[in-house]
Amino acid sequence: MAPESQAREQGEIVFPSGFTWGVATAAHQIEGGNVNNDWWAWEHDPTSGTLEPSGDACDSFHRWREDVQLVADMGLGAYRFSLEWSRIEPAEGEFSTAALEHYRRMCAACHGHGIVPVVTFHHFTTPRWLTDRGGWEAPDAPECFARFVARATAYLGDLIGWACTINEPNVVAVMGYFQGEYPPGVKDDFGRYAAVNEAMLRAHRLAVETLRSGPGDFPVGLTLSMAEITADDGGEALRDAAEEMLENIFLRATGDDDFVGVQCYTRMHFGPDGLAPNDPDVPVTQMGDELWPQAVEHTVRRAAAVSGRPVVVTENGIATADDTERIAFLSDALRSAHRCLAEGIDLRGYFVWSLMDNFEWHLGYGPKFGLVAVAPGTFERRPKPSAHWFGEVARSNRLPAGGAR
């Protein structure tokens, strides 16, 4: 980059008034004791390759008040969390009022602090009663999901701030039926992978209808995992195919949704033989991903162009043990997001993944994505410097000159 534009890039930037600042979590990654879903079974299957079980996680099922308080202390406007379907519907057709009441109290506490509760209805975990009869491959899985959404919305709808139907359906299908690292651990089965993609898209459309016809009046959208997908020499056709299967089919299915959630972490390369190695000159995160904060602008632009919907960055962050690196990453990511705003893209908000260090699925507790550390054993929450830094950015609605560097 030319020195002149670098200087310009590092100036103070101001976000539009009303821009939403938030943090995100997911039930299974923080609640603990979610014994009744497919992930719990998977974590305890010695053949799954999952490094450790979720166990008590951050004990957020009990400590959620502290978590909402952390969000309030940072001065953020929104908290994105998910409902655990297997707690709300522990057996098919049997709904727990106590579990619904739990999430109702969480939503109410958010409102009490002036925080918008952004509720995700499915974040990777599925009740065991459904996976026992095929999970997302069961012919009526989308209807089962819609029935759960209807019951949950009837109970919570008046308090929901925004709704995300399904978190990253594109990851559920690819990791569960292609890579085999998420349940049900199927590898390279293109037919089953494509069928699950379709089932989840049908579930999304049914959920949107259900949410719009229930109590409350809130924006509804889908959240997608997106990457800056690039082509090395000769990799153009595969890059285009990957974009189509991994992202475009979902982006085009957003219909008249109120927003599309972009969740972006890194860049990927495709060569003539498929997925190619990282650029050796780019450092990697604890996930082994390229440290590539500017993926934000690429993915937001693509999401807006292909879907035609307003965009919210519903997850962005870095797995690192070095909090200074986190601040630098977030600072660069926000500059990247701001370039989209400057181009006139309708970008409505930005959520850091994650509020706190948590259970990173098959990788266990190693990767540290949190703005807040959680002490093992005591569950004590300890905000890191990045929590204070991000709170200041959110409260002032601006990123100071020079960012974090």
Q: Which positions lie near ligand BGC, rule CB under 6 A?
A: 26, 29, 167-168, 171, 225, 263, 315, 353, 360, 369
Q: Judge whether 320 and 288 are in contact, CB under 8 Å.
A: no
Amino acid at 117: P
Task: Look at residues 270, 267, 317, 318 and name the one whose alpha carbon lies nearest to residue 292.
Answer: 267
Nearer to ligand BGC, 171 or 306 (CB): 171
Q: Name the maximum alpha-carbon separation found in the chain.
A: 63
Amino acid at 34: N
What does the H/E/C string look like for 208-234? Answer: HHHHHHCCCCCCEEEEEEEEEEEECCC
The Cα angle at residue 238 between residues 260 and 319, in degrees rounded to 5: 55
Structural tokens at position 135: 């999970």
Question: Minimum distance from CB of 23 to ligand BGC (Å)?
Answer: 12
Nearer to ligand BGC, 355 or 399 (CB): 355
* Beta-bridge partner residues of 225: 263
Question: Minimum distance from CB of 140 to ligand BGC (Å)?
Answer: 25
Question: Minimum distance from CB of 177 to ligand BGC (Å)?
Answer: 16
Nearer to ligand BGC, 225 or 336 (CB): 225
Nearer to ligand BGC, 228 or 341 (CB): 228
Nearer to ligand BGC, 165 or 167 (CB): 167
Question: Minimum distance from CB of 229 to ligand BGC (Å)?
Answer: 15
Task: Look at residues 168, 66, 78, 163 and name the one whose alpha carbon lies nearest to residue 116.
Answer: 78
Nearer to ligand BGC, 15 or 81 (CB): 81
